[in-house]
Amino acid sequence: MPPRRYRVYGLAVRSHLSLSAPVGEGPSLGVVSLAVGRGPLVEPATARAAGRRWFGYRRLDDGAEYVRWRGLFEFLVAPDGRRIVCRALPGATADVLQTYLLGQVLSFALLKQGIEPLHATAVVVGGGAVGFLGDCGYGKSTTAAAFLQGGHRLLTDDLLVVSAGDGAVLAHPGPARIKLFPEPARVLMGGTARGTPMNGATSKLVIPLDGAPVSAVPLRALYVLAPPTARRRRAVTIRRLSPRRAFVELVRGSFNVVVLEPARLARQFELAAWLSTSVPVKSLSFPRTLAGLAAVRAAVEADLAA
């Protein structure tokens, strides 16, 4: 198909692949072109140097980055982050390739263009974005699904890009999909929710959504989720964090822990310092039951109203 111009994470993405993202033109934070490779993207020695584990990574001498998920696909990100070449391997499907491409892989391009992403899922409540920060397995997507159940819209799942604009912190929409395990998907999104397994090692599903926002919205607040292993709580607890504590949590909530160059780490600190004094950052603890998520949604809605 002819290339189309998509909007995702504030980027203008030009792609021959059909993507689950809005199509459109306009100002952007950066530009990325997607291409499909017809053969191996790097020399065999480079591929071996990326390692034999499930996830492989190698920075090339010219600054390009080679990223691979064994048996699924490989990607090559240009030194300036403005071009990504992808190649599906025999074990991949188009939906799964797109999930990794518009998440982990695109984060390398974002970083190369000086854009620092957060490891967060965000929903739209009352015309503004509400983000949930936390590590893998903390329940960001499941918490967001409870807001979808309550009639709110998803803004982005797992990766959040923010920028300054019109005197506010703006949160940019991601792909129109959410990743959930089968039981939360059934309970929170109904029996009609259908998705594609992310990979053979997990039962988590990639579920497409309708009606996703197409433009950035003001960021109202960020909620840092308590670890699932935290001591059991019987009620929902929300506490405003001090700027110092918020700074620490925002640095911890960075997306992409592979790139550790000094310039990138400096941007992490700059973003955390800015957000910790520009947006309310709060801790959010709650009982880890699907039945209790309606109370979590109500508590956050009340907190925002207050």
pLDDT at residue 192, rounded to an integer: 65
Q: What is the pTM (predicted TM-score) of this model? A: 0.93
Tally of helices (H runs) and strands (E runs) in the chain? 8, 18
Report d(CA 68, CA 108) in Å as an integer.
Answer: 13
Residue for token pair 């391997």: 89
Report d(CA 84, CA 86) in Å as an integer.
Answer: 6
Residue by residue, DSSP assigns 94-107 as HHHHHHHIIIIIHH
Report d(CA 16, CA 14) in Å as an integer.
Answer: 7
What is the SS3 assignment for 303? Answer: helix
Dihedral pair phi/psi, residue 121, rounded to 5°:
-115, 140
pLDDT string in tens for the chain (306-residue length): 678 899 999 999 999 888 888 887 778 999 999 999 989 999 999 999 988 888 999 999 999 999 999 888 999 999 999 999 999 888 777 778 888 999 999 999 999 999 999 999 999 999 999 999 999 889 999 999 999 999 999 999 999 999 998 889 999 999 989 999 999 999 998 866 778 888 777 888 899 898 778 899 999 999 999 988 766 667 899 999 999 999 999 999 999 999 999 999 999 999 999 999 999 999 999 998 999 999 999 999 999 998
CATH class, 120-305 region: alpha beta
State the DSSP code for 2: -
Q: What is the number of other CB atoms lying within 10 angstroms of the CB of residue 228?
A: 11
- Conformational region of residue 176, where left means phi above 0, alpha means psi within -120 to 50, and beta covers everything else: beta
pLDDT at residue 97, rounded to an integer: 84
- Conformational region of residue 228, where left means phi above 0, alpha means psi within -120 to 50, and beta covers everything else: alpha
Domain range list for the chain:
4-112, 120-305
CB 75 within 8 A of CB 106: no
CA torsion angle 163 168 171 172 (round to 10): -60
pLDDT at residue 94, rounded to an integer: 79
CA torsion angle 88 106 41 72 (round to 10): -30
Amino acid symbol at 53: R
pLDDT at residue 203, rounded to an integer: 85
CB 281 within 8 A of CB 246: yes
CB 212 within 8 A of CB 194: no
Dihedral pair phi/psi, residue 134, rounded to 5°:
170, 160
Closest CA to 152 of 162, 140, 143: 143
Report d(CA 209, CA 177) in Å as an integer.
Answer: 5
Alpha helices, DSSP H only, in the chain?
44-49, 94-100, 106-112, 140-149, 182-189, 243-252, 262-278, 293-305
Report d(CA 162, CA 165) in Å as an integer.
Answer: 10
pLDDT at residue 40, rounded to an integer: 93
